[in-house]
């Protein structure tokens, strides 16, 4: 089971879509405060549809509280458009942590500095855009990780 971490999510529709993706891929969702919305926001529920009740979700007041539950920080991968390494070059493992920042600015340098540079990953993209939508970014990375994990079971 993968662990999807959203640090200070701002847009309820994105979080709802990611929650739905987590239910569909049997991944856990970890949400780190503060949020840009109320967790029972109707838009969050609309995006997550009726799947939200099936979601394995945990909330944390801050990054420090979340880090206390991470057993191995070498298996934490942070997505950043400024990273040097592509997520496509990582060999994902069951129970990995995939971390995404807030929609407006991504992960703070303070959060990135908590982990090795090798754990900071980018999603390759055209130079015509700054970043992908966070829900799409999560889908790309979770899809690749799940593909690799399913290959390992054959």
CA nearest neighbour of 7 among 27, 36, 28: 36
Residue 36 pLDDT: 86
- Which residues in the chain show pLDDT less than 70? 40-49, 152-154
Query: What was the pLDDT predicted at 47?
Result: 60
For 114, the 3-state DSSP assignment is coil
Q: What is the pLDDT of residues 116-136, one digit of tens each?
A: 999 999 999 999 988 899 999
Question: What local confidence, expressed as pLDDT, does residue 154 receive?
Answer: 47
> How do 28-32 and 85-86 pair as beta strands?
unpaired
């Amino acid at each position: 089971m993968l662990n999807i971490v959203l640090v200070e999510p701002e847009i309820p529709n994105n979080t709802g879509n990611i929650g739905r993706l987590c239910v569909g891929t049997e991944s856990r969702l970890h949400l780190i405060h503060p949020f840009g919305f109320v967790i029972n926001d109707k838009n969050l529920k609309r995006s997550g549809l009726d799947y939200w009740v099936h979601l394995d979700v945990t909330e944390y007041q801050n990054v420090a509280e979340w880090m206390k539950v991470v057993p191995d920080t070498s298996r934490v991968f942070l997505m950043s458009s400024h990273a040097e390494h592509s997520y496509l070059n990582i060999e994902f493992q069951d129970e990995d942590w995939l971390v995404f920042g807030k929609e407006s600015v991504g992960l703070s340098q303070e959060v990135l500095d908590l982990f090795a540079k090798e754990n900071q990953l980018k999603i390759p993209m055209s130079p015509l855009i700054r970043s992908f939508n966070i829900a799409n970014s999560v889908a790309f990375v979770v899809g690749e990780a799940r593909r690799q994990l399913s290959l390992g079971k054959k």
